[in-house]
Structure 1
């Protein structure tokens, strides 16, 4: 649960470049204050608000309208709770992006945070310089996940998909198209599909648009429903 807390705000100095607005959410006072101070020292463009939790009054919008990114502590190992907090930050609290700080090797929390919409996940033992660069990357519209998390998610080479017999009424799909559609059918968002299949999110969108055109599907949901009615995917040679 996100509870009320009094914010500690580090204000910009006169004459400095336009600030990146960050909100660090961590119930551990010493850890959040130290990290906030270190980030402010590492990059003068960061204007940081350190909170134990978000005040309920922010659920319908920000008092200043300035906050953009949340740095969320997710080291407890409760992946479901972390995903719920990410969803709340991006929804009722109105943040543009969320960066989740997860325990090293906690692939479940990292994957769930990404699935909930987090723009980046960073191991809690990462260097300050890496975290600074991830914040900059996210502000530029990028995403980030450590290689170790992806390797933990997919420890070995992806199993080969057997080529099934063609199904009447189903147009042929390439193996990559079939993999993307199968992930969509399982309810995974584009960002997570891209991570799991080692492709760009834009490539996932291209595959989905192509298949939607082949199937004459009107939406992602429509496509997933249509594909779910077939027992197999027809793959092109």
Structure 2
């Protein structure tokens, strides 16, 4: 089902109208209540905004194929625990199907890892409920103008360590050397994966803890094994343990 809402009469109390005319948005949301709330809220906030609401990303791609007019596609993924393989594939396919129209995700989770993974999949914006409709409109305007939107709180969580998250192990002697010389060429993200491997975590659990797809976790594990020259996860974990125990550079076993 597709619903077009173009609000012209009145502005909700405390909300200033938008100033950018003619913004066409396609909103994909499986929940009828939130779909209607977002449509009516955005239409009230910006009187010249047209919101076409559909139930899925597939329906959004179909709506674009039929008439092709939209500046932004919004997709509400709600309270997903993370970007599992099915959702990753759906987002990747939607990004491709909606091109050149940018895709913006609405999510209940303000999670830095999940946001980074979304951006890697081609998403151009990530909106969380704490921002409010006013910021949401500005984010839509930014993305429609060619930019990318990420909440400031999410950027701060990526910069400052948060209790309970996985941190890259502190370097030993030789800390003045670049990471690539010190730890077998591993990136900080790969070091976080290696930390999980040392703790015996599965790919699925690594993906959950680091906010990525399971396939992405598998790719990181393969890269770690290749860079360290390890034949399996156990050998890589042993090498990491030895490195952290003696504080010596972790070199690859490859000739």
TM, length-normalised to structure 2: 0.55
Q: Report the CA distance between 1:182 and its aligned residue.
A: 7.2
Task: For 2:53 and 2:122, locate their aligned partners in 1 and report how far apart those are by CA, in whole Å.
Answer: 22
Counterpart in the other structure of 2:72: 69
Q: Report the CA distance between 1:105 and its aligned residue.
A: 3.1
Q: Pairwise CA RMSD of aligned residues? A: 3.9
**Contact preservation (8 Å) 2:7, 2:40:** no
**Contact preservation (8 Å) 1:102, 1:109:** no
Alignment match of 1:32 (pick from 25, 35, 41): 35
Counterpart in the other structure of 1:139: 144
Deviations 1:150-179 (A, max 9, x none): 232333499789455xxxxxxxxx99xxxx
**Contact preservation (8 Å) 2:6, 2:43:** no
Deviations 1:72-98 (A, max 9, x none): 112232323443333122112435211
Task: For 1:101 and 1:119, locate their aligned partners in 2 and report how far apart those are by CA, in whole Å.
Answer: 11
Q: Report the CA distance between 1:69 and its aligned residue.
A: 1.2
Q: Report the CA distance between 1:24 and its aligned residue.
A: 1.0
Q: Which has a greater percent of helix?
A: 2
**Contact preservation (8 Å) 1:61, 1:93:** yes
Counterpart in the other structure of 1:79: 83
Taking the TM superposition and a 5 Å limit, the aligned residue runs for 1:152-167 are 152-156=157-161, 162-164=175-177
TM-aligned CA distance change 1:43 to 1:11, over 3 Å: closer
Task: For 1:74 and 1:124, locate their aligned partners in 2 and report how far apart those are by CA, in whole Å.
Answer: 12
Deviations 1:121-150 (A, max 9, x none): 111222110001111111111112112212
Aligned length: 174
Counterpart in the other structure of 2:2: 7
Instruction: Give the unaligned 5+ runs of structure 1.
Output: 1-5, 165-173, 176-180, 187-227, 233-237
TM, length-normalised to structure 1: 0.58
Deviations 1:4-63 (A, max 9, x none): xx11012487xx975111111111101110111110110123211111114569459610
Task: For 2:77 and 2:138, locate their aligned partners in 1 and report how far apart those are by CA, in whole Å.
Answer: 19
Of stretches 151-160 and 105-114 in structure 1, the one that deviates more from structure 2 is 151-160
1:116 matched to 2:111: no
Rg (Cα) greater in structure: 2
Alignment match of 2:135 (pick from 107, 120, 130): 130
**Contact preservation (8 Å) 2:73, 2:104:** yes
Instruction: Give the unaligned 5+ runs of structure 2.
Output: 9-18, 162-166, 180-184, 191-226, 229-249
